[in-house]
Structure 1
Amino acid sequence: MLHPEIRSDPDRRPPGPALEEAQALAVALPGLEVVGGEVVPLPKVHPGQLFGTGKTDELKARLSEKEIELVLVDGPVSPVQQRNLEKQWGVKLLDRTGLILEIFSDRAATREGVLQVEMAALSYQRTRLVRAWTHLERQRGGLGFVGGPGETQIEADRRAIDEQLTRLRRQLDKVVKTRTLHRASRAKVPFPIVALVGYTNAGKSTLFNRLTGAEVMAEDMLFATLDPTMRKVALPSGEEVILSDTVGFISDLPTQLVAAFRATLEEVLDADLILHVRDISHPQTAAQAEDVAGILAGLGIHEETPLFEVWNKLDLLGPEEAADLRLAAGRRDDVFTLSALTGEGLPALLEAVAGAVTEPREEVTLDLGWAEGRKRAWLHERGVVLDESETESGPRLRVSWTARQKARFDRLE
């Protein structure tokens, strides 16, 4: 595993933790034996082979000596750089995006997850067609009597990928429609939705299992959870909520995957409460929290959706450090310290969740126009309509809703 530390990059992450995370990613892929890893300082990126000539030769000798078959580069590698390095080193090479795609394709379990991974992989492969393999430069002739040189192999392969992407999008649209129907049916049952989000390996699935008694895959491994899982949980107040476990976030997540997994994270958009689970024992916990906040903002999570921070893995800290964190969390009403593994701190969190989701409701009468069918449908989907009648100008609805539901309704066009 090589982590290029590009000194000219102002946004570069601390190399030590970044290399550790990259190696943890590699370990998450079955069948790989990670022999070692190192940080490679670079003044700037070499356009043809990423590393300079001297460093490339030095690495080649070491790879040959250790009989390495696969080199993982923790960062973007262009198709040209990949081809040149593979040719020079005599190994297979994967960049960060390729590695994450491999892990996702190995873990996806539901139909939706499989389709999303396949689409992301095809989008990634499409970019690799440009000057990536020399055989793709050959041209395929026309029928002999048609002018022009014919279609290049690159164009043919790109067209085949585009056709496959179109087919996958149609299939995914059907799956997403089914999920939308499921969400609409859940909305009729007035259970608030609580979504667990956080950096990968923060302990979301362990917390989910502890609260629900489910057996979701929970391991000390990056991307142990890929497909969203939902279960009903009874709170101490007697109220029931739906708890949703989501895919873990990660810094520098490939753009293809951000787009592909947007539908997976749609549950978060409909959540009544978000629990941001943080591995508080991790040295880069603050940077990870910033990455999660950035992705949530990109998804369009609105400020009126309540969010609690859950500082998890307290059991991995020393007594003094844990006591300091409890003290810091005690000064805020939106932060909770706990250990999902031992159960410490869970009662306080559950009590706060119960308080947050049992919002006061207001009963109002709304007069809608005949053209505002989307608003009427939205109200019925949320199960807030108590009564409906018709007037000359359109439907009149008596609704019982929370302040947050009203704010969402007001944003509808």
Structure 2
Amino acid sequence: MKMTSPARGRAVAGQALTARKVLVYWMDGAVALLALTLMGMVVTAFAEGTISVPHAVAAGACLAGTCGLFPFLLREAFDTRPAPSVRLVLAGLLAVGALALVPPATAGTGDGMWAMVMFLWLSAAVLYLPLWAAWCTGAVVLALTTATVALLTRQPWQPVLLVQAITAVLMSVAMWLWRWLWWTIRDAHDGKEAKASLAVAEERLRFARDLHDLLGHSLSVISLKSELAAKLATRAAAEGKAAREMADVRRLAVEALAEVQVAVDGYRTLDLDEELDGVRAALEAAGARCEIDAATAGLSPGARVLLAWAVREGATNVLKHSAATRCSITIRDGALEMRNDGVRVPAEPRGAGGGSGLRGLAERLAAAGGAVTAGPGPAGEFVLKAVVPA
């Protein structure tokens, strides 16, 4: 399984942050350009002598206040939809003041350019307000700007209303889409992070399950053979056999190390026939007679691997949790049944989820469309059943 590296995760996070900065700074630049244009109208009106110094200062201050607060309003509402704030109300009051102080020379041009300051505030307000409140606020703003422009330019209110409505809708919708674009980028980034975290969690689960399945059996046999060798070592006549048992312990330790490498690499291949032979040898070494009746010739490679895991887990449970003297293994048409007479009644009933090994086996088989059950049988035996697609 391919895992997302920390460096790649930081790179993706950096790209999302860069996209946010580009969107916000682009809007800052557009607002700054609008502010310079409107401020130029104030300076032009003052230079032509159509407005006084106090009028120019007041208009410039209201304009600068509205445009200066806009970047803060944008950042406040760019990631979430907050409740209307004091800044939003203050910017609205300043925008109304700027509209009231429109220079007569500017109004005389007939284009209503000065009213853009009100629409700029409206475009920020729609990021804070629910839909119905945004419509009501937009209607009030449109009425104010239309009345002001129509009065100062002496034009019929109908064409003025049409122009003002189009401008207001375009600016508000553009601002809403601007934020929606960022939300889409952010959600896509969050989705990638969630996918990467899920991949890491799945890989950890796979590793834990494989480590248990691979080492549980081998370490159980090592423990058994070490105990047997220790007993044999006390008898002079059994020195040769003890040496052989310790040689087996060494071999199993080497195999366990190799199996750890298999788990780390992510490969899960087991040979069913080899596993059956190994289980027979391990159980007989523990003093349990093992009877195997397995028809494996017609099984698919995937079914053979799954059944090999089931055989290994079943044998591990026999070695670790029972004192069995007899164990039978039957395989027919993708169905495995393992019975042993060393059943013990634990404090809690064991089932497919009773132990970590059985849980891992159940998860492995379920992913392939199979199933596993385990528990005491009616005849006083412990029965493990596993079914896989043949």
Do these two structures clear the TM 0.5 threshold for a shared fold by scoring above it? no
TM-score (norm 2): 0.21
Q: Which has the larger radius of gyration?
A: 2
Structure (1 or 2) with the greater helix fraction? 2
TM-score (norm 1): 0.20
Structure (1 or 2) with the greater strand fraction? 1
